[in-house]
Amino acid sequence: MKRFIEENNQKVYDVIIIGGGITGASVAYEAASRGFSVALLEKNDFSAATSAATSKLIHGGLRYLANFEFGLVRESLKERRILENIAPNLVYPIPFIIPLYNTGARSKWIIEPGMIIYDLLSYDKGFTWDDSKKIPWHKYISRKKVQELESVVKPDGMTGAILYSDCTSIIPERLTLAFIKSAVKLGAEVANYAKVVDFLRSNGTVEGVVVQDLLLDQTSNVRGKLIINCGGPWADLILDVATGKQNSQNIRRSEGIHLITRPLVNHHCVGMLSPSGRHFNIIPWRGHSLIGTTDREYIGDPDAYEITREKVEEFLVEVNGALNEKDQIAYSDVLFTYGGLRPLVEDQTKEVYKSSRKYEIYDNEKDGLKGLITVEGGKYTTSRSLAENVVRMAVKKFGMGSYKSITAKKYLAGSEIKSINSFIGSAIFENEDFSEITIDYLARVYGTEFTQVLKIARNQPEYAAPINADGEILAQVVFAIRNEMARTLTDILLRRTGIGTLGHPGEEVLQKVTEIAAKELDWDKTRMDQEWKTANKALNVPQ
Ligand SMILES: Cc1cc2nc3c(=O)[nH]c(=O)nc-3n(C[C@H](O)[C@H](O)[C@H](O)COP(=O)(O)OP(=O)(O)OC[C@H]3O[C@@H](n4cnc5c(N)ncnc54)[C@H](O)[C@@H]3O)c2cc1C
């Protein structure tokens, strides 16, 4: 992948996309697949913001049934199946346990009918391309069975549980990247660290954007017929730039944080209820537990958002209130934290937790900005179908481009795998010079591209040794820089690989990664020190 803004081209693109989260990535792929020429601009790294802050669930969203959002849940369940199909190495079914109590929102009489509706709305869950991705219908399990399966659930008042399945995306940052790579394969041009700082306008029509290349510190114009604002929690600020006014449209933002800890659950995602009635999940992930999420209104500049010790401590009080004595988590047990801001489309709901996760697509022609479309809200899970709807609007507007979407029917780039189990089996068998753990991990995370990582390791054996329990290897660092537009240490550690997402990997590993990056990217000592400092801040739990 090449950062297209480094080359001064005079093209006029059909579509310019602002934002390289999952929404922008999906829109880029959808538009490119319909025959549009596409440019995508991201001011940070791809998937560095909300799209990296998820609970890693690809799900219908059982709790949205409580708001009677049947349309949203059905759309999400359909997209869940599509993502299982088109990204088989990245999206997997995961069993959930929802403990039941005698009274309240967790009583069997409320959850059971909800589960029947959930199952009915996912009536097509058996029609997956790969048999291993089929999702079973829900069932009831006894109190004793819950204790056997996941002892983290407090027995007091618990009457049993519902066992059902949803999906997890093992590395959402790379799922976003897979959409971007799929777009690039079809001709889309993309750039990270490319911030849209102004719009080119003529007689009420938006004709392009002014882009600041944050790496080369230079500004250029990118021209296009249609601009799509996929700025997530920044979408309103981008609109301010387009209109030249302040607060042209305010988005409500809600903050969500996650904690990584030692394993508290075995194989199930457990839906916990805190003493104050807050719902949170404990999700098994890479031999650890992922606990999340909070959901609290965030007021302020999205660029200034950060997780503080106070916020983590507050969340820990809620979490510990729901855990057994033996499972209590101290602050020092928290290995890593991450968080992000949800843009919420409705501003009526008092509690952001109850606010809808539906998305909205606005044609800004109504505001005197012909040629600009803004997308707001949504879930990671529904991004592909959101993109279908946005591009349908573009096709209608232009009277060009293919009307038919193909993105639900084709594997994403690197995911061309018919049976994930046979693929992993063959990968292990054919690459005996690496440990099974390494091959299993790389084949899932890189799909069919894992052989390119192995090639680097075979050429440079010093990059072939496993550096963590997942079997990750330093050849991934080289691959990230040469093939995947990684330009900073955090791009490598947090988004192209999983080296940093279970917490600080240790000084020795960080040193090696920094040295490889410095060599590949030609960093001097000052740049190395800067990168080291930024990476340490991102990897350490706030103190
Ligand atoms: C805590 C939390 C947990 C969640 N869990 C789940 C889950 O488990 N499952 C699920 O389906 N959904 C989940 N979601 C929702 C999901 O994360 C979002 O719907 C999705 O990531 C939104 O993607 P996006 O691309 O619209 O936004 P983002 O990922 O935020 O992307 C917007 C991008 O625009 C860029 N940008 C902004 N301004 C400019 C500019 N001027 N120039 C260029 N680029 C710019 C930003 O840098 C950013 O990368 C969760 C959300 C949160 C916050």
pLDDT score at 167? 98
Does residue 302 have its Cβ closer than 6 Å to ligand 1?
no
Chain centroid to Cα 262, Å, comes to 22
pLDDT score at 67? 81
pLDDT score at 9? 80
The CA angle 273-502-377, to the nearest 5 degrees, is 60
pLDDT score at 483? 98
pLDDT score at 25? 98
Residue to mutate (ligand 1; options 57, 311, 358, 379; most atoms within 8 A of CB): 379
Band of the pLDDT at 350, cuts 50, 70, 90? low
Q: From the CA of 22, how far away is ligand 1's center (Å)?
A: 7
At residue 201, does pLDDT exceed 90?
yes
If you average pLDDT over every residue of the chain, what do you get?
94
Please check whether residue 336 is in contact with residue 210, taking contact to mean a CB–CB distance below 8 angstroms: no
From CA 389, how far away is CA 27, in angstroms rounded?
Answer: 9
Does residue 22 have its Cβ closer than 6 Å to ligand 1?
yes
Does residue 431 have its Cβ closer than 6 Å to ligand 1?
no
Does residue 358 have its Cβ closer than 6 Å to ligand 1?
no
From CA 325, how far away is CA 254, in angstroms rounded?
Answer: 31
Q: From the CA of 63, how far away is ligand 1's center (Å)?
A: 20
Structure tokens belonging to residue 164: 């059902």
Q: From the CA of 222, how far away is ligand 1's center (Å)?
A: 23
Q: From the CA of 302, how far away is ligand 1's center (Å)?
A: 11
Within a 13 Å sphere around the CA of 539, how many CA atoms are in the beta-carbon half?
A: 25
For residues 235-253, give the mean pLDDT: 86
Q: Where would I find the beta strands (DSSP E) of 184-309?
A: 189-191, 194-202, 205-213, 218-229, 252-261, 269-273, 279-285, 288-292, 296-298
> Which one-letter amino acid corresponds to residue 299?
I
Band of the pLDDT at 5, cuts 50, 70, 90? very high
Calculate what percentage of the chain has a pLDDT beyond 90.
84
Higher-confidence residue of 91 and 325: namely: 91
Band of the pLDDT at 272, cuts 50, 70, 90? very high
> From residue 293, how far is each of 206, 255, 280, 468 by CA, in Å?
38, 9, 6, 26
At residue 238, does pLDDT exceed 60?
yes
Q: From the CA of 224, how far away is ligand 1's center (Å)?
A: 24
Considering only 89-103, 238-252, 461-475, 479-493, which range has the smallest mean pLDDT? 238-252
Does residue 169 have its Cβ closer than 6 Å to ligand 1?
no
Q: Which atom of ligand 1 is nearest to the CA of 238?
A: 41
Question: Mind listing the pLDDT tens digit for each residue in 108-144?
Answer: 888 999 999 999 999 999 999 999 999 999 999 999 9
What ranges do the domains of the chain cover? 4-50+173-251+357-398, 94-166+253-348, 420-539
| CATH topology match: 94-166+253-348 vs 420-539 | no
Considering only 253-257, 329-333, 377-381, 529-533, which range has the smallest mean pLDDT? 377-381
Does residue 386 have its Cβ closer than 6 Å to ligand 1?
no
From CA 319, how far away is CA 329, in angstroms rounded?
Answer: 8
Question: Three-class SS of residue 474?
Answer: coil
Angle between helices 383-398 and 70-86 (to 10 degrees): 100
Q: From the CA of 355, how far away is ligand 1's center (Å)?
A: 16
> From residue 244, how far is each of 198, 224, 370, 423 by CA, in Å?
9, 19, 15, 53
For residues 43-57, give the mean pLDDT: 98
Candidates 1.10.8.870, 1.10.10.10, 2.60.120.10, 1.10.150.120; CATH matching 420-539: 1.10.8.870
For residues 80-91, give the mean pLDDT: 98
pLDDT score at 59? 95
Fold of 94-166+253-348: D-Amino Acid Oxidase; Chain A, domain 2 (3.30.9)
Higher-confidence residue of 397 and 288: namely: 288
Q: From the CA of 47, how far away is ligand 1's center (Å)?
A: 7
Does residue 18 have its Cβ closer than 6 Å to ligand 1?
yes
Q: From the CA of 464, how far away is ligand 1's center (Å)?
A: 34
Band of the pLDDT at 165, cuts 50, 70, 90? very high
Considering only 10-24, 233-247, 486-500, 513-527, which range has the smallest mean pLDDT? 233-247
Q: Residue 250: what are its φ and ψ, rounded to 5°?
A: -90, 130
- The CATH code belonging to domain 4-50+173-251+357-398 is 3.50.50.60
At residue 347, does pLDDT exceed 60?
no
Q: Which atom of ligand 1 is nearest to the CA of 55?
A: 8
pLDDT score at 24? 98
Q: Which atom of ligand 1 is nearest to the CA of 379?
A: 19
Q: Whole-prediction pTM value? A: 0.97
